[in-house]
Structure 1
Amino acid sequence: MVAPAARRVFYAALAATLILKLLFAAFLPMTGDEAYFVVWGMHPALGYYDHPPMVGWWLSALLPFGHAEWWLRMPAILLNTFIGWAVMRILRPHRGDLAYLTGALYLIAPVNLYNVLITTDTPVILFIFLTGWAYYRALVSGAWRDYLLAGLAVGMGMLSKYFEGLVAVALAAHWLLLDRRRRGFLGLLLVAAIGALLFGLNLWWNYTHCWDNFLFNLINRTHHGLRLDGPPVYLLSLLYLFTPPLLLGLYRARGAIAQRWRQPLIGGFALFAGVPLALFGLLSFKNNIGLHWLLGFYPFVFVLYGALCDARAQRKALRFMAWFAAAHIILLGTIVALPTPALKPLVPKFYPIVVLGSHTDAVWKAAQPYAAGRHLATRGYATAGILEYHTQRHFAVFGTGSDHGREDDSLTDFRSWNGQNVLLISTNDLPASVYAPYFDSVRKIVITVQGAPISLILGDGFKYASYYAKILKPIRDSYYRFPGWLPVGQCPFTQRYFGTP
């Protein structure tokens, strides 16, 4: 009864969501985080400050063929289209044409419609999913080829973002709790060996580059103390992502889960999703769990739901998800269509940043007459990335910045600026006196674009010695503090400015 309609629904959802994502990607201005990763692509390397290099490699491959937003976002646009198709393919041998409804349910989930941004999450979501899919195939077939593919996916995922490690923990948990076969253990060792071999590239880069990824992810951004608001916010995030009908369907199927626990399709995907989500739940007592942290494990829940729930439950969930998605499309479409000044009452504090991101060409046109003979800079990595993306000229991050986005520490050598002139473009209305210690003379010009004040700071005669004492030393003390147990091979930042590894 569901066969012809289910197939039509799936392919209609596939086409419609792909078109919607292409339109959204084409009209949405490049965000600061995305532009920061595009700068990675402009400077190919074996690693970058915040995360492993995979998204930078992808963007390096795309940039020679175009700089349009929709083009650079193409991996993110295609990502969930592919995963939606793959969810259907995994379920098809077990659920028949009902698998098409599950695939359509995944495709129209709101987060999969608006998640068109190209970030470090894009490759890791792909490789987490491929890890689970390949390992599930290995559980069914026992083929070494499938274990090999799972190991490659783990390694590539670890070269994308460290969340991949959580699915590796889930694979080990599956063997300990459900598998226990000798072949399964050897397969798990093969997965671990291949993953470790690829991850070794990242370890070597970190050893020779200040352990940047580890300092950022494990020390510099780690919050101390309990967060009582963390677990409730995390639970609300799960409710938003998975929606009440889907969660209710899984709750009603709990008996079937218990009965079929040892089946790879049930126990496998339950653990692939459940172990990481449980670990995030524990971490929520210490850190805010970003919605994007969960997206790599998101598809596994849909596979589990599709394996357990009948056609009636899936149709109800599909209807709810369609209305839920429509509400998001209307809201986001309205926001994107609004003229820029209409956004000012909604985000008064961030309006200058919105203008810089959406009208960069106008900002640069006003600033360009002052740029001749000057180094270019901004106060933050997001604005630097946006300006570099649009102008194809390097913008340094001037000042201490934040614990995020410190890639410019390796790109800019402030020693070479000594005695030279600088143009700093800022969305912060700070007085010129803030910059006076670092220049022989400073003047401030304010331009207005779309009703937003943008500051142009013209600094003549850069004082490297002052910048070294007031900015570079605090950066070293805040972001390049190495634990005594960590062997440091090289650290270009500290070697450049302080002569120490």
Structure 2
Amino acid sequence: MSGDEVHNLMSPAARSARRMFYAALAGTLILRLLFAAVLPMTGDEAYFVVWGMHPALGYYDHPPMVGWWLTALLALGKAEWWLRMPAILLSAFTAWGIMRILRPQTGVMAYWTATLFLISPVSLYNVFITTDTPVILFIFLSGWAFYQASRHTRLHDYALAGLAVGLGMLSKYFEGLMAVAIASYWLLIDRRAKAFLGLLLVAGISALLFAINLYWNYEHCWDNFLFNLANRTHKGLTPSGPPLYLLTLLYLFTPPLLYGLYRARGAIRSRIREPLVGGFAAFAGIPLLLFGLLSFKNVIGLHWLLGFYPFVFVLFGATADHRSHRQSLRFMAGFSALHILLLGTLLALPVHDLHFTGKNYPMVVLGTQTDKIWQAAQPYVQGRHLATRGYASASILEYHTGHHFAVFGSGSDHGREDDALTNFMHWNGQNVLLISTNNLPVSVYTPYFDHVEKRVVDIDGAPINLILGDGFRYLAYRREILTQIHQRYYHFPGWLPVGACPFTQRYFDTR
């Protein structure tokens, strides 16, 4: 294809590419909607739905944005496909944005790049509503706005970038890596004085928005910072981290796309001063490099990378040749077809055929057969507080039944929002029904009740334990469980100024 054909948006090649893009946009949107309607609500998703049921300025694990979105969505319905609507639309919007970013400079190739993004496996199956959904959106918008600002040096573009960074920081702290990438772009490539003033505008606006999160943390034990920087951070090296990270990159971007970028390395070097190439190389490369360094201490989850995933496609579209696009499109189509076939097969299987999940099978049953479990528990519900052993099962049960389920026991470093929602002081002397997929002996519960009984019900071959505890002993629970939680999850540095810590004040304030 000649250079003129590449940039001529009226040519037959351009019309064909445009039709292919919009066909892929419509087709993948329908497929994502279908997946969203049939996939059961996951534990993490249900946990964030519980956030939406309890609107607040912040939550234990992360900033509040997804909770705010879900509060608005819950006002109109609670079907899985509806609550997942932001995630369903996200890939379509991002693909459209990739096309709009590239089209002024690459013409018809912009449509092929956007199509490539649309048919990638992650773009097809990632329909889950989590904290990643808003941060992926705002990372992309902050990159797009800052790119436009770099091209035109317009202050309102810098202001939009600052707004996007700030909203991203109210979604998840990975937006902070985007702020580092933006600053690095100015420092390494675009050191104009007016660009520096724009960078200060980005910093000022985003800081004002992030102050909401700082204030909430000041009044809530610095929960977000303890969770993200202390409670779940590994102390030593993780030898498997770097190789797993490289395999994750290979899976996400696929060998043909990575090879296409390698072939385009000369073009990238020669055009690094251009905002399109240098900007998106920084927006993708700096965070991915930082994740690579972090992989020596933590295993990098695939979902951590998704906010910066689209920027690699923009860089590919700006520098790779037609041959690389053609090879990547062919590989991606086949690769994604395998994912669709596998996911479709799993969804078609009856629940009782999922025993290959092993020890996780009871949780599979709880997530897919919640109505049966709730029906089996009905004779024991009246007059009892409801609880489970973990945040995932508690959230799934609350989503499906509309009744609050507390997390009984010390739980994990994840999903500790129930520390704020449940006051065990009010349970003293009262009765509890605990639904558990863990076949623990009754002796685990006897220290905390006057009397305990265990009933086991079989749901599709999974033993579901119903623990009936009469006469809850709050003081014993405080001594054995709440004290352990306090020491493990609410121990912040003495130098940190704290306005309030509701958990400590509720259970351990001796004044």
Common fold, TM-score beyond 0.5? yes
Q: Which whole-Å CA distance do the structure 2 matches of 1:451 and 1:141 have between them? A: 63
Match of 1:296 among 296, 300, 307: 307
2:84 matched to 1:86? no
Which SS does the other structure have where 1:448 is aligned? strand
Question: What does the per-residue CA deviation read over 1:162-207, in whole Å, with 9 as the maximum and x for residues that have no partner?
Answer: 0000010001101111111110000000000000000000000000
2:472 matched to 1:462? yes
Q: Paired residue for 1:157?
A: 168
Q: Paired residue for 2:8?
A: none
Match of 2:237 among 226, 247, 266: 226
Question: What does the per-residue CA deviation read over 1:186-231, in whole Å, with 9 as the maximum and x for residues that have no partner?
Answer: 0000000000000000000000001000000000000011111110
Q: Paired residue for 1:372?
A: 382
Runs of 4+ in 1 over 3 A off after TM superposition: none
Question: What does the per-residue CA deviation read over 1:122-178, in whole Å, with 9 as the maximum and x for residues that have no partner?
Answer: 000000000000000000111111000000000000000000000100011011111
Cα drift, residue 2 of structure 1: 2.7
Match of 1:12 among 23, 26, 37: 23
Q: Which whole-Å CA distance do the structure 2 matches of 1:500 and 1:224 have between them? A: 33
Q: Paired residue for 2:221?
A: 210
8 Å Cα contact 1:2/1:98 also seen in 2: no
2:326 matched to 1:315? yes
2:395 matched to 1:385? yes
Q: Paired residue for 2:437?
A: 427
Match of 1:199 among 190, 194, 210: 210
Q: Paired residue for 1:187?
A: 198
Which SS does the other structure have where 2:116 is aligned? helix
8 Å Cα contact 1:494/1:500 also seen in 2: no
Unaligned runs of 5+ in 1: none
Say if 1:188 and 1:500 are closer, same or farther in 2 by CA, change over 3 A: farther
Question: What does the per-residue CA deviation read over 1:265-293, in whole Å, with 9 as the maximum and x for residues that have no partner?
Answer: 00000000000000000000000100000
Cα drift, residue 4 of structure 1: 2.1
Using the size of structure 1 for normalisation, the TM-score is: 0.99
Q: Which whole-Å CA distance do the structure 2 matches of 1:98 and 1:186 have between them? A: 34
8 Å Cα contact 1:50/1:216 also seen in 2: yes
Q: Which whole-Å CA distance do the structure 2 matches of 1:369 and 1:27 have between them? A: 30
Amino acid at match of 1:446: V
Q: Which whole-Å CA distance do the structure 1 matches of 2:305 and 2:490 have between them? A: 29
Q: Which whole-Å CA distance do the structure 1 matches of 2:292 and 2:510 have between them? A: 40
Match of 2:78 among 64, 67, 86: 67
Number of residue pairs aligned between Structure 1 and Structure 2: 500
Q: Paired residue for 1:253?
A: 264
Q: Which whole-Å CA distance do the structure 2 matches of 1:120 and 1:327 have between them? A: 27
Q: Which whole-Å CA distance do the structure 1 matches of 2:306 and 2:40 have between them? A: 23
Q: Which whole-Å CA distance do the structure 2 matches of 1:368 and 1:61 have between them? A: 31
Unaligned runs of 5+ in 2: 1-11
2:340 matched to 1:329? yes
Q: Paired residue for 1:352?
A: 362
Q: Paired residue for 2:254?
A: 243
Question: What does the per-residue CA deviation read over 1:435-458, in whole Å, with 9 as the maximum and x for residues that have no partner?
Answer: 000000000000111111100000
Cα drift, residue 500 of structure 1: 6.5
2:488 matched to 1:478? yes
Match of 2:418 among 380, 386, 408: 408
Q: Which whole-Å CA distance do the structure 1 matches of 2:13 and 2:260 have between them? A: 19
Q: Which whole-Å CA distance do the structure 2 matches of 1:178 and 1:208 have between them? A: 40
Amino acid at match of 1:31: T
Using the size of structure 2 for normalisation, the TM-score is: 0.97
Q: Which whole-Å CA distance do the structure 2 matches of 1:158 and 1:371 have between them? A: 41
Alignment of 1:32-51 (within 5 A): 32-51=43-62
Q: Which whole-Å CA distance do the structure 2 matches of 1:314 and 1:435 have between them? A: 60
Which SS does the other structure have where 1:377 is aligned? strand
Q: Paired residue for 1:53?
A: 64
Amino acid at match of 1:381: Y
Match of 1:276 among 287, 305, 311: 287
Which SS does the other structure have where 2:189 is aligned? helix
Say if 1:55 and 1:244 are closer, same or farther in 2 by CA, change over 3 A: same
Amino acid at match of 1:348: G
Q: Which whole-Å CA distance do the structure 1 matches of 2:327 and 2:185 have between them? A: 31
Tell me how large the CA RMSD over aligned residues is: 0.8
Q: Which whole-Å CA distance do the structure 2 matches of 1:293 and 1:221 have between them? A: 15
Cα drift, residue 35 of structure 1: 0.2
Q: Which whole-Å CA distance do the structure 1 matches of 2:69 and 2:391 have between them? A: 20
Question: What does the per-residue CA deviation read over 1:365-385, in whole Å, with 9 as the maximum and x for residues that have no partner?
Answer: 110110000000000000000
Cα drift, residue 312 of structure 1: 2.2
Amino acid at match of 2:204: A
Q: Which whole-Å CA distance do the structure 2 matches of 1:321 and 1:388 have between them? A: 39
Q: Which whole-Å CA distance do the structure 2 matches of 1:471 and 1:463 have between them? A: 12
